[in-house]
Chain A
Amino acid sequence: MEAGTSRSLFEKLLYLGIATFFLWPFIQLYSVKAIPIFDSDTHLRASVALENLMEEALCRPYEFSIADSKFVPIKGYEDLNLMGKIDISPHPTYDSNVLIKAQVMWGSFPLQKNLSLEYIGARTKS
């Protein structure tokens, strides 16, 4: 390329693509909390909130199927903006069981983190 001419749009997009290709795994590592040196206290609090959410889900009688429920803010964690949701669905392979999944999420895209916990319960009710 001659000196003085700027890069074309295509080339800029190419560089952006290469940079994203290299950086995306690191962003993924961040979001699955594989690098817990920073915000470790936040992680601890979020994991406790997740356990509490799961225990609450186990306490209530099994509702038929609440899959794809919405994230709602968790009381007491307003400073983190922590959101949680509970999904209860029939087990995909065992008819007599239900799959209970609790999830918490905080932060905003692309530096968003979420933790989830799953539990298999017997379908004695409902």
Chain B
Amino acid sequence: MIHKKNGITLWEILLFTVFLAVSIGASVFFFFINSTDMQKAQQKYAWVKNVNSVLDDVSLEIGNAVILSHPFNGSSKECFYRGASDHSTLEPESFEEGFIFSDDLLYYISKEPTSTNVTRFGKHRNPILVNCKDGIFNRKSANQIEIYFKMNSPNGTETDREFRRIINLRNK
């Protein structure tokens, strides 16, 4: 049976509507991807990721420390330890490393008998974190220490975001 086609048929209108809807949806989506809201969200994500990567390195360093001398109990703005070195040997007792919350900054320092050095911490330059408030190291038990501080995001999208890390001191 052969139908004569006259004008636009119903299924063609339907198909056209579907394509139109898809193209409108796609353009709305691309506008959304380009929007300042999305860019701010991406900046915030990059910032949080960066802070967390610094915290990862700090946690690894403290977790693998040979001896954590300060805080022995309670909480403190400072944390000192004797670091683990290569070849399972101990560093000299007079050499200590540490992290310090000072003036809303987190520093890595190394102490020698004659001097206190503010050197690089791995790939991070000192101060390793800026603009962190209420920073504290909290010794919860003999083999557990907690780092806690608050931060505001650089682009002002989030205030007082809490960062908390629990560290198992593996050499206790």
Contact = CB atoms under 8 A, between A and B. Distances in A.
B45 A59 contact: no
A96 B166 CA distance: 27
Contacts of B49: 44
B44 A52 contact: no
Given A44-B52, A48-B52, A56 B45 contact: no
B78 to A, nearest CB: 21
B24 interface: no
Contacts of A58: 168, 170
B52 A59 contact: no
A52 B141 contact: no
Contacts of A55: 59, 63, 144, 165-168
Given A40-B45, A41-B45, A44-B49, A59 B143 contact: yes
Contacts of A56: 144, 166, 168
Contacts of A40: 41, 45
B164 interface: yes
A44 B153 CA distance: 15
A44 B52 CA distance: 9
A4 interface: no
Interface residues of A, number: 11
Nearest to B42: A40
Nearest to A44: B48
A51 B168 contact: no
A46 to B, nearest CB: 12
Given A41-B45, A44-B48, A51 B143 contact: no
B164 A52 contact: yes
A76 interface: yes
CB-based closest 10 A-B pairs: A58-B168, A52-B166, A55-B168, A59-B144, A55-B166, A59-B168, A40-B45, A59-B143, A44-B48, A56-B166
Interface of B: 41, 44-45, 48-49, 52, 59, 63, 141, 143-144, 162-168, 170
27 contacts: A40-B45, A41-B44, A41-B48, A44-B45, A44-B48, A44-B49, A44-B52, A48-B52, A48-B165, A51-B165, A52-B164, A52-B165, A52-B166, A55-B59, A55-B63, A55-B165, A55-B166, A55-B167, A56-B144, A56-B166, A56-B168, A58-B170, A59-B141, A59-B143, A59-B144, A59-B166, A76-B164
Interface of A: 40-41, 44, 48, 51-52, 55-56, 58-59, 76
Given A40-B41, A40-B45, 11 more contacts: A41-B44, A44-B48, A48-B163, A48-B164, A52-B164, A55-B166, A55-B167, A55-B168, A56-B144, A59-B141, A59-B143
